[in-house]
Structure formats: C-alpha cells, structure tokens
Amino acid sequence: MASAVIERLRAQIQSIGPVLLGQPQRCVSSSIPQVDEFLPHGGLSLGSFVELLEASPGIGGYSLALVMARCAIKDKPLWAVLDTEGSFSPPAAEALGWDLRNLIVVRAQPKDGGWCFAQLLRSKDFGACFWLADSMDNMVFRRLQLAGEQGGGLGFCLRPFTALRKPCWGSLRLRVQPCGTGKVRLRILHARGQPAAPDVEIEVAL
Amino acid sequence: MRRYLALYFPRWPLQHLRQKLPETQSQPILLFQRSHRGVVVRVCSAEANALGVRAGMSLADAKALSANLLSHELNLAEINLNLEELCLWATRFSPLTGVEPAGPHAPYPQTLLLDVTGCAQVFGGEEQLLNLAVSNFKKRGFNVRAALAPTLGAAWAFSHFGPARVSVPDEPEALKTLLEPMPLAGLRLSEEVLDNLRPLGLHRIADLLKQPRASLPSRFGAELLQRLDQALGVVPETLLPLRAEPEFRVARAFEHPLRSSEILFSILQAMTERLAHELEHAQRGALHLECWLHHEIAAPACVNIALHRSSHSPKHLWRLLHARLEDHFRLPLKSGGRFKRKHRQTSATKSLVIEAEECIEAVALHVTASEKSADRQLPLFDKAGSDAQSGDFHLLLDRLAARLGTDAVRRVHIEDEHLPERSFKLLALVERAQAAPAAAADAPRPLRLLPRPLPAEVEFPRTLTWEGQQHSIRNVAGPERIESGWWRECDQRRDYYIVEVESGARYWLFENLADQRWFVHGSFD
C-alpha cells in the first residue's frame, strides 16, 4: 500500500518536474537515437548534467560520455576535463575526434572536485565538461544543478555503481555495462520529465 | 651617495643548526660535507676548534680528536633557504634586501646585504638603525656583525673584519683610509688569488694600493682590481634584491599585532581597493600580485596571485586574494617547517584566531607585474574557441588558479613520443606550444592512463591479479611493442596488450621486456 502511494507520488513529481524547473531553452542530440527518442525534448537539455554509472573502470563510460557530448560542442567548442585522479589521457580523446586545442584540463584534489566542477559548469564558455566523480553529498550535486542551469553547457559525471541507491541529480542517469570490444550496453535509469524509465537495453558502438 | 648595510652571521650553518637543535649550544660540534676528496669538515664551533678540529680536515681525523664531538652533515639548500627567510624578515629595515651571492670567496652565503639609502631617517639616524638591526637579530638568538658603508664591498669587508658594528663615512678619502688596514680577504677574493698574493708580502689592502695597477690584472686576474674598485666605489656594484621592487605598493603597519583574521581581511580588502584605484589611475592592470604578511617573530609570509588577464577590478582582485588567504591560514604547517601554524576557528564569527608567534604586525600588497589596460594578451584559444570566450572566462581561470594553484589549470600539447606517459604534456595556459600537435597513434589508447604503471601479477593469458583482485582474462589483443629512444637515460622496451577480463572491463597491460614484469598502465573507459 505504502509503496503504491510512493510510486504514485513519484510519478506526479516527475510529471510536474519540467514545469517547476522551467522548460529547457535548448536541447542537443545525444548522438544515440534510442536515447534521444526517449528524452522529453528529443535530446539532452543544455544547462544540465548527465550521470553515467559503471561498475568499474575500463567499461567504457568515459568514451560513451565523449560520444554523447559531440553535439554539445558544435556551438561552444571549448571543453573541460576535471581530472581529480590525474589519469585522463588526452591522446585517446584526440583519437575519438576531439580537438585538444580547445581543451582545458583542471587537476584538482578530490576534496575540491565539487567546487571546481560547479565553476566549470557555471561558465558560459564551455560546451561540455567531464568529471570522474566519486562519492559526493547531495548539497554538492544541488550546486552542480544550479551551476549547470546558469552556464548552459552540458556536464558529464562518471560515478561508481554504488551511487545507484542515491538520488539522481542529473537530467539523465544511465547505467553503463560492457558489451564486447568497442561497444557498451546502456540502460536509462532516470530521465527528468519522464515518469518511468524504459525497460530496454541499448547497445552503442563507441 | 648610497648606503649599504651588511649583516654578517659568522659560521652561519652552525648558528642555523643551533637554532634548530638548542641542545647543541656550547658543545663541540662540526658540520661535514661529502666530496670527491671524501668526508671533509666544513664548519666547526669554537669548542671544536679548541679541541684541534679545523675546517678542511677529514671527518675521521676530527672524530679521533675527541669522543664527545658532535657531527652533522651540512645541508646547503636548507641553510640558504633559512638565510633567505631572514633576508625577508630584514625587509623591516629596507625594502631592498638581498643575500650575498656564493662565489669563490665564500662557498655558501653568510651575509645579508641591505640598501638602506634614505631609510635611516625612519629609525632616527644611522646609529639607531645599526643598533636596532643588531639587537633585533640578537634577540632572535643570532650572533651578527654589522657595518654601514657607501659601497657593498666596503660594507662586506667591515662586517667581516671590522668592529662588531661600524658606520663608515661617505667621503672617498675617509673610506680609503679606513679600508687600508683591512686584510686582503676583505675584498671577497678567491683563496687561489690570496694564495698568490701572500708569498709576495701582500697582506693588507694598503699593500695592494702601493702596487702599480697596470701589472695586477695580468698577474692575478681581473677579479682583483674589480673587487678593489668595487670596495672603493670606483666601479659600481648592484645589489641583487631577493624580491624585485614592486611596480605598485600599498602597505600598512599596525600599532599592535593583529590576531584576528576577520580584522585582517577587512583591512586587506580596503588596501586592495586602494591598490586597484592606483592601478586604474595609472591605466594599468595587475598580472601578478603579492600579499606580504609580516610577523613579529616568524619570517614574513607571501601569498601570490597570478592573473591570466590583467585586472584593476577591486572586486575581482579581492575575491582571488581572499580565496588564497583563507587557504593560507588553514594550512597546518608552514613550508619552512620551523613555525607550526595552528589556527583556531571560532564558530560564531567563522574568523580565524592567529597563533601568538605569527601575529601580524604589518601587511603589504605588491603588484610585481602589470600591463597597460589597453594591452590585452592574445586569447588563450585559437580559431573558433577564441570567439566564444566571454569576459568571464579569464575570471574563471583566475578563480581556479587562485584556489587550486597556477599549475592546476592546464592545456594539452601532444608530444612526438612513443612511451604513453610521455606522449603528451600539460602546459601552463600562458605557455604557447612550439610545434603543431603530432598525429594521433593508430593503435587504440586508453582514456584513463595511470600516472605511474602499477605492478600486476599476470598468468598470461589466463589471469590478472591487480589491487588484490584476481580476474580471469577473456580476450587479449596485442602485443604492441613500444620502445623509448636509445638516447633516453632509461631505455624502455614494453609489449602492450589490451586485456578484457570476465567483468567486461578492458585494461591496458604491458610486460617490461627488461625484467619480464607485468604492469597495468590504464583502462579503456
């Protein structure tokens, strides 16, 4: 009984979500037609961020984020990587077609990660920003939401699978799983403005 | 006529050590150094001298003289750093302070040199300045000899071979008369030149002055006459200050030392506004700003801010400075390591209470680099990227650099190198790449490359054990042979494999062909 009530309330909140948050000004394609079809405005809302959850490094979440962000940098070619691990390898991004001349790499301590990513998202100059985010409290994610709305770019947070039980602060949450060489399988877990996530898995070639 | 103050700290390495280890006071002690001639005594205390220890003898010989002799290795980098700290502390007497450069006359610096031209009147006269400088250093536990003279050379000579404190008049004739009885070592000559002069009966400056000038350079080198003329003021000599004179400066001294960061911040905010006003008036923008915090006891601390684009906006400058100051006061330990910084934060005001030994008695804001407000730097990014940059972009870079450090915000330059860890460089944003980016490698490269390859246990091609977890290997691609150039100091030969484990994760491993050890170098994320 209680779970049914919670489910109903959740559906109501999600249906009025876009009204409360205001209609997104612009959307860009995620480069994945199946994802675009499901999203309420036919693409990723600019001024928000996407959460990608993966079980371990090496699954392909980062590459997927780069694929999804391609359209976001058409108007604003600058992009930024917040590298709190010191492990980002630019030659691999270049091999995926990204222009390193428009890239800024910010190396920060994990404790400064939330603040730093909020600064990058708030900037009106970056088309896309990427961050391998570890555990972060809700207040930081709320700040990221507001910063994204102010900046109008697109953010991508790669989070561990453990974040599955935590609230989603991004406009889209995807679960990324391996699917053989050069491919990933993704499942939409949450999309702002949609009452329920589809029960389908999408294979994406990277 | 200029006036220079030389402050000589006899046996400075020993004084420094005794400050660090007070229990060694009045004990026979020596400092040794390792060289190609073996382990040699460099400095020894008067007590060790009395036992027969001399600088230059081997450590073994010295130890044989007494069982109670204490010995420590001479750390030149550390003693130089501490003398520089003292030099910064001495800026209370003059804005232009420097450390004597090490040279053939001195293997390590022991003297501070201050340009005190026009400063004496602030202290009530030269005598008072001299006394104050000596007493201040003595109060801090240092043995110091001081001399005020019209040339750097003369000040150095009198501080080393004159009375403990002396003021030499400006007149050239009087200076010459006072210098004449000084030993030739007072001219900052190398031991080699002094060894050549001694057998000829030349011991004092007066002896040298009697010789025909023309013949001296050919027999003893150009150094001899140059040093003599510098001491007499015939040839000018420039003091190299430790810190460059700022282009714009705002300073304030307090009657009572400050202990509250809240008050300090409000004063500094007002000073920043004044500095910004001065910059605007001069139609210039700051590129590099220094905030000096002068403490009563500890060496002054400097908080630096480098801007990506010049600014005279008080709001922007203060925001950057405030972020750095907050970080500065929260640091647990000062870099020098001598003074511990433990600031308490009061919950009500969020203000930091500064510990007694680091109470602030004066603050100064220096603009050490600026540019005309009209002379804007080139945009950081080329082509389309530059068009997109808003005015806020540089403010963002400044904010990031102020909080995370100037090294944190980087741009990428691809290098023409085969080794993955050397295949790119992260450059400061202001650095311009010299060469065009090299073509990307054809073979796949991982997006996550570990800063250092981590050792792994591999039973090729069955299992990979890494970070305590064993993975079954499902697929393997490779090998890709990557070698460093033979001209590199450490030649590397590696066979790289892309390994897919049972969870689906793909790692980039290599086998080091030199020792057949396996390493994980990245993951295909």
Using a pLDDT cut of 70, give the percent of chain A over it: 93
Q: Do the Cβ atoms of B426 and A124 come within 8 Å?
A: no
pLDDT score at A5? 86
3-state secondary structure of A82: strand
CA B188 to chain centroid, in Å, comes to 25
Residues in chain B closer than 8 A to A106 (CB atoms): 400, 404, 408-410
Does residue A10 carry a pLDDT above 50? yes
| Interchain proximity A77–B396, CB inside 8 Å | no
Residue B275: predicted pLDDT = 93
Residue A51, both tokens: 């959460």
Q: What is the pLDDT of residue A14?
A: 65
Amino acid B88: pLDDT = 84
- The per-residue pLDDT of chain A, averaged, comes to 84
* The pLDDT value given to residue B430: 57
pLDDT of residue B9: 92
Residues of chain B contacting residue A100, judged by C-beta atoms under 8 Å apart: 412, 414, 437
Residue B419 φ/ψ region, left for φ over 0, alpha for ψ in the -120 to 50 degree band, beta for the rest: beta
Residue B512 has a pLDDT of 86
Blockwise average pLDDT, block size 10, chain B, 525 residues:
90 87 83 84 87 86 85 85 86 87 80 90 88 89 90 92 80 87 89 87 88 84 88 87 80 85 88 92 88 82 84 89 81 39 44 62 88 64 50 81 83 82 78 49 81 85 83 85 71 86 88 86 87
* Positive or negative torsion for Cα B158, B163, B164, B166: negative
Inter-residue contact A144 to A121 (CB < 8 Å)? yes
Mind listing the pLDDT tens digit for each residue in A134-185? 777 778 888 898 998 888 899 999 988 888 888 888 888 888 888 877 788 8
Helices (H), B254-309: 261-281
Are the Cβ atoms of B525 and A101 closer than 8 angstroms?
no
- Tell me the pLDDT band of A36, cut-offs 50, 70 and 90: confident
Q: Which of B324, B399, B447 to mutate to test the interface with A (most CBs of A within 10 A)?
A: B447
Q: So what's the pLDDT on residue B435?
A: 45
Residue in A with minimal Cα distance to B476: A181
Decide: B311 and B317 in contact? Cβ < 8 Å.
yes
Average confidence (pLDDT) over A118-127: 91
Q: How far apart are CA B41 and CA B33, in angstroms?
A: 6
The C-alpha atoms of residue B19 and residue B336 are separated, in whole angstroms, by 14
Residue B344 pLDDT: 47
ipTM: 0.80
* Cβ separation B525–A115 shorter than 8 A: no
Q: Is the pLDDT confidence value at A199 over 80?
A: no
